[in-house]
Amino acid sequence: MDIDRRLEEILSENLRKNPDAKCIWWEGKWYMNKEILDLIDSTTATLEKAGFTEGQKLSVLMPNCPMIVALMTACWRLGGTINPLNVKSGIPSLIGTLKLVEPFAVVVSGEIRKEAGPMLASEGYISVVCDLTGPLPDFEGVKASAEDKSLAVIFATSGTTGLPKAVPLTHRNLAANVDAYFEAVDDIDKGDVFLNVLPNFHSFGFTASILAPICFEGAMVIVPGFLPPLRTLNAIVEADVNILLIVPAMLTHLLSAIERGGPRPGKVKLVITGGDKYNVALDERLKSLLGVGNLQGYGVTETSPILSVNKNYKVNKLGTVGTFLKYVEWQLRPSGAKIPPDGEGVLWVRGKSVTDRYYRDETMTAERFDSDGWFNTGDYVLVDEDGYITILDRVTDIIIVGGFNVYPQEVERILNAHPAVESSIVVGMPHPTNGEVPKAFVLKKEGAQVTGVDIVRYSKEHLAHYKVPRKVEFVNDWPLSGAGKIMRRVLKEREK
């Protein structure tokens, strides 16, 4: 694949090659390539009529659906950028991201409009309600600052401070990642049917489940959301999915659904997980129910996102995240003053799929990128003599819940706003399904009366469900280092 071509050229060309081939399965129906091309054409025309021009950004608040494919391709045809967002990230985070991105408009589904509509209106954003299969209705957007047309996607996340952070990825970043991903994994062929259940605002889902199938003339089975697991399982069986791209927590739920009497997929040839730690004890159960094991991979949003993956089942090393993809240069550096053993260190990377900055954030860019373009992943890893990577620990304190990042300081900022809370510390505690879940240690204000139930209820009002602490423990003081810093690791050790 020519990674220097724009993505919409690659996608449109592949859709035109075989107009009567299957492209998207949605709610029991297959849409052919020509139907998706027609949807892209009409969406492009509507956007252009609305005043969308080169360099503009279009934010999208929709579940996985056919319109995501049409909106992203139409944006790119007009030289613009798409910004997929997660309404469950919480209204404060959403507002912060929209202020950072300055979108031309925000396209929302009807259900999400009920939840986010009042906020969008109060902040002065143009919101456009669109059916999940289109068409995009006529509207008039608001032009804001423009970007270079090489910018394809802006992914929103939170920094370690919990404040909005955005990752800009170019057409070349994404094309290089898709190209390397297909070369790295054996047994992916034209016509394969991919499961598209990972959220579109998640870089793994966007690249591996949306872009990749069309780039390599495959098809995708779109499920708007994973829950309930039986719905996803039924879609896999009905549409003959043969490639599962999924996070470990979802995989666990799928296997449980089969064991409870759900249909057993008979066509799966590859299971590829990323986004979280994989419990290798699950592999035998996976093989017995689906006939294949798991090929684990690894990546971060800043790298488009895939950095490594196990190549095939013959050379698969369970417990590792495989070997580096082509285009990835890597280094292992010390963490602080400590000199790591041979083969261990903090992983730094650069290459064609790696972004060169954070969006409009010079401070964070300076913290994570060096002057030669190397990016600090924040992960402490081991690379063995065969090039296989094992993630040993996270240098940061990020908690990964079912594949989604939870930043402790973001949760702490919400908890500390409670009138009865003096201060709080949030750490990850092990969870059999989700990998980790947040736990809050809370120091109450003197004389304050508050329960753990009160804290959880308050959290649910201000945070996405996966960010809400599952357990609250009250403390009388904090473990402090000699420098007077709270030692998070001491608190975390209590949960091992």
Give the model confidence (pLDDT) of 94-115 as tens digits. 888 999 999 999 999 999 888 8
- Nearest-angstrom CA–CA distance, 303 and 306: 6
- Mean pLDDT confidence for 293-317: 97
Residue pair 100/164 in contact by the 8 Å Cβ criterion: yes
For residue 339, give every residue at least 6 positions away whose Cβ sits within 8 Å of its Cβ, in sequence order, or none.
none
The burial of 289, by beta-carbon neighbours within 10 Å (0-12 exposed, 13-18 middle, 19 or more buried), is given as middle
- Nearest-angstrom CA–CA distance, 241 and 219: 9
- Nearest-angstrom CA–CA distance, 253 and 401: 14
The structural architecture, per CATH, of the domain 296-394 is Roll (2.30)
Dihedrals φ, ψ of 169, to 5°? -125, 135
pLDDT band per the 50, 70, 90 thresholds, residue 92: confident
pLDDT of the residue at 245: 96
- Nearest-angstrom CA–CA distance, 212 and 331: 27
Residue pair 127/120 in contact by the 8 Å Cβ criterion: yes
Q: Between these two residues, 119 and 212, which has the higher pLDDT value?
A: 212
Instruction: For residue 472, give both structure tokens.
Output: 């609250």
Instruction: For residue 407, give both structure tokens.
Output: 């930043």
Strand partners, 267: none
- Nearest-angstrom CA–CA distance, 362 and 274: 29
pLDDT of the residue at 408: 80
Residue 275 has pLDDT above 60, yes or no: yes
- Nearest-angstrom CA–CA distance, 160 and 371: 21
When mean pLDDT is compared across 12-26, 284-298, 334-348, 385-399, the lowest value belongs to 334-348
Residue pair 190/162 in contact by the 8 Å Cβ criterion: no
What are the DSSP calls for 209-220, one per residue? IIIHHHHTT-EE
pLDDT of the residue at 158: 60
For residue 99, give every residue at least 6 positions away whose Cβ sits within 8 Å of its Cβ, in sequence order, or none.
164
pLDDT of the residue at 316: 97
Strands 151-158, 164-170: pairing kind: antiparallel
Q: Between these two residues, 163 and 175, which has the higher pLDDT value?
A: 175
Residue 485 has pLDDT above 70, yes or no: no
pLDDT of the residue at 281: 80
Residue 163 has pLDDT above 80, yes or no: no
- Mean pLDDT confidence for 299-326: 97
Cα dihedral sign, 52-57-62-66: positive
pLDDT of the residue at 76: 98
- Nearest-angstrom CA–CA distance, 4 and 175: 8
Average pLDDT, the chain: 92
pLDDT of the residue at 470: 94
Dihedrals φ, ψ of 60, to 5°? -135, 130
Residue 283 has pLDDT above 60, yes or no: yes
Pick the CATH number of 7-225 from 3.40.50.12780, 3.20.20.70, 3.40.50.2300, 3.40.50.40: 3.40.50.12780
What are the DSSP calls for 328-385, one per residue? EEEEEE-BTTBPPPTTEEEEEEEETTS-S--TT-HHHHHHHB-TTS-EEEEEEEEE-T
pLDDT of the residue at 73: 98
pLDDT of the residue at 488: 76
pLDDT band per the 50, 70, 90 thresholds, residue 482: very low
pLDDT of the residue at 413: 83
What are the boundaries of each domain within the chain?
7-225, 296-394, 399-493
Residue pair 173/352 in contact by the 8 Å Cβ criterion: yes
Predicted TM-score of the model (pTM): 0.84
- For residue 227, give the nearest of 466, 468, 470 by alpha carbon: 466
Query: What percent of the chain clears pLDDT 90, i.e. is strictly above it?
Result: 73
The three-point CA angle 331-337-338 to 5° equals: 70
Q: Which of 113-117, 258-262, 331-335, 491-495 has the highest mean pLDDT?
A: 258-262
Residue 276 has pLDDT above 80, yes or no: no
- Mean pLDDT confidence for 335-344: 70
- Mean pLDDT confidence for 78-90: 91
The burial of 339, by beta-carbon neighbours within 10 Å (0-12 exposed, 13-18 middle, 19 or more buried), is given as exposed
When mean pLDDT is compared across 161-170, 360-369, 377-386, 416-425, the lowest value belongs to 161-170
- Nearest-angstrom CA–CA distance, 337 and 313: 39
pLDDT of the residue at 409: 74
For residue 352, give every residue at least 6 positions away whose Cβ sits within 8 Å of its Cβ, in sequence order, or none.
3, 172, 173, 176, 327
CATH 3.80.30.20 fits 399-493, yes or no: no
- Mean pLDDT confidence for 334-359: 86
pLDDT of the residue at 484: 40
- 3-state SS of 281-317 is HHHHHHHHHHCCCCEEEEECHHHCCEEEECCCCCCCC
- Report cis status (omega within 30 of 0) of the bond before 168: no
Residue 162 has pLDDT above 60, yes or no: no
pLDDT band per the 50, 70, 90 thresholds, residue 481: very low
Strands 471-474, 435-444: pairing kind: parallel
Residue 45 has pLDDT above 90, yes or no: yes
- For residue 435, give the nearest of 286, 292, 311, 273 by alpha carbon: 273
